[in-house]
Chain A
Amino acid sequence: MIKELKYPINGEEIIKKKKYLKRQFLDLSDFTEVRIAILSGSTIGDIADILELFLFSYEIKPIFYIGNYNQYYEETLFNTKDLISFRPDIILIHTTSRNVLDKDIFSKLNQVWEHIQKMHGCIIIQNNFELLYNHISEISELNTKIDEYKNKTFYVNDIRYLSAVYGLDEWLDNRSYYLYGYAFNVKAVPMFCHNIAIIIKSIYGKNHKCIVVDLDNTIWGGIVGEVGAEGIELGKGTALGEAYLDFQKFLKKMHSFGIILAACSKNNETIAKEAFTNSNMVLQLDDFAVFCANWNEKSNNIIHISKSLNILPQHLVFVDDNPAEREQVSSVLPQVAIIESNFVTDFIRYIDRGGYFYSEVYLEEDIRRNEYYRNEVKRKVVEVNSNNYGDYLSSLTMAAKIEPFSDAHIERITTLINKTNQFNLTGQRYSLNEVKKISINNNFVTLYADLNDKFGSSGIISALISEVIEGSAHVRLWVMSCRVFKRDVELAVFDSLVEECLKRGIKKIFGYYHKTDRNEFVSKLYESLGFYKSLGEVWVFDVDKGYVPCNKYIRMRKE
Chain B
Amino acid sequence: MVEIFDMLRDIIFDVLDDKELKITRETSAEDIEDWDSLAQISIISSCESAFGIRFELSEVLQMKNVGDTVDLIMEKIK
Of B14, B46, B57, which is within 8 A of A179 by CB? B57
* A19 to B14 CA separation, bound complex (whole angstroms): 10
Determine whether B41 belongs to the interface, using a CB cutoff of 8 Å to chain A. Answer: yes
**Would you call B60 and A175 a contact (CB within 8 A)?**
yes
- Enumerate chain B residues within 8 angstroms of A17, measured Cβ to Cβ: 17
Closest approach, in angstroms, between the C-beta of A192 and any C-beta of chain B?
13
Contacts of A179 in B (CB 8 A): 37, 40-41, 57, 60-61
Q: Which residue of A lies closest to B54 (CB)?
A: A175
Taking a contact as CB atoms under 8 Å apart, the answer to whether A46 and B57 are in contact is no
At the interface, yes or no: A547 with Cβ under 8 Å from chain B? no
**CB–CB A12/B17 < 8 A:** no
Taking CB as reference atom, which chain B residue is nearest A43? Answer: B37
B1-30 with Cβ < 8 A to chain A:
14-17
Given A12-B46, A46-B36, does the pair A20, B17 have CB atoms closer than 8 Å? yes
Shortest distance from the beta carbon of B31 to any chain A beta carbon, whole Å: 18
Main secondary structure of the interface of A (DSSP, over half): helix
CB contact between A176 and one of B41, B46, B55, B61 (< 8 Å): that residue? B41
Determine the distance from Cα of A135 to Cα of B62 in the docked complex, in whole angstroms.
Answer: 34
Residue B77, interface by CB 8 Å: no
Of A15, A175, A178, which is within 8 A of B38 by CB?
Answer: A15
Quick one: which of A43, A45, A175, A186 contacts B42, CB cutoff 8 A? A186
Query: Which residue of the partner chain, among A19, A43, A49, A176, contacts B17 with CB atoms under 8 Å?
Result: A19
Interface check B65, CB cutoff 8 A: no
Q: B57 contacts A15, CB within 8 Å?
A: no
A234 CB to nearest B CB, Å:
42
User: Nearest B residue to A20 by beta-carbon distance?
Assistant: B17
Interface size class of A (residues with CB under 8 A): 20 to 34
**Which chain A residue has the least Cβ–Cβ distance from B15?**
A16
Q: Which residue on A lies nearest to B11, using beta carbons?
A: A16
Contact yes or no, B37 A180, CB < 8 A: yes
| Cα–Cα distance between A18 and B42 once the two chains are bound (Å) | 11
Query: Quick one: CB contact mask for A302-328 with B, threshold 8 Å, 1 for yes?
Result: 000000000000000000000000000
Residues of chain A within 8 A of B34, CB atoms compared: 19
Contact call B38/A186, Cβ cutoff below 8 A: yes
CB distance from A164 to the nearest CB of B (A): 21
Interface membership of chain A positions 43-68, coded 1 if the CB is closer than 8 angstroms to chain B and 0 otherwise = 10110010000000000000000000
Complex CA–CA separation, A180 to B29 (angstroms): 14
5 new A-B contacts at CB < 8 Å, known A186-B42, A189-B38: A12-B49, A16-B42, A180-B40, A182-B41, A187-B41
Listed by A's residue number, 22 A-B pairs whose Cβ atoms lie within 8 Å are A12-B42, A12-B45, A12-B49, A15-B42, A16-B14, A16-B42, A19-B16, A19-B34, A20-B17, A43-B37, A45-B37, A46-B37, A175-B60, A179-B37, A179-B40, A179-B57, A179-B61, A180-B40, A180-B41, A186-B38, A186-B45, A187-B45
CB within 8 Å of B: which residues of A? 12, 15-20, 43, 45-46, 49, 175-176, 178-180, 182, 186-187, 189
